[in-house]
Amino acid sequence: ISSVANKRNNIPRKSLDYQTPLEVFMSYMNEDILSSLI
């Protein structure tokens, strides 16, 4: 199951403006981490 999930999370999605789910998740995490440090 984890190998299928890993493959699916690396496929760019049209609904995410052709970014992968992982890229979108990391962009939110980076903003949250940076805002908590300031």
- The candidate with the shortest Cα–Cα distance to 8, out of 19, 18, 17, 21, is 21
Structure tokens that stand for 33 in this block: 């981490």
Instruction: Give me Rg for the CA atoms of the chain.
Output: 12
Write out pLDDT tens, residues 1-38: 999 988 988 999 999 999 999 899 888 887 777 778 76
- Per-residue model confidence (pLDDT) at position 36: 82
Question: HSE (CB half, 13 Å, CA atoms) of 18?
Answer: 0
| CA pair distance 19, 4, nearest whole angstrom | 18
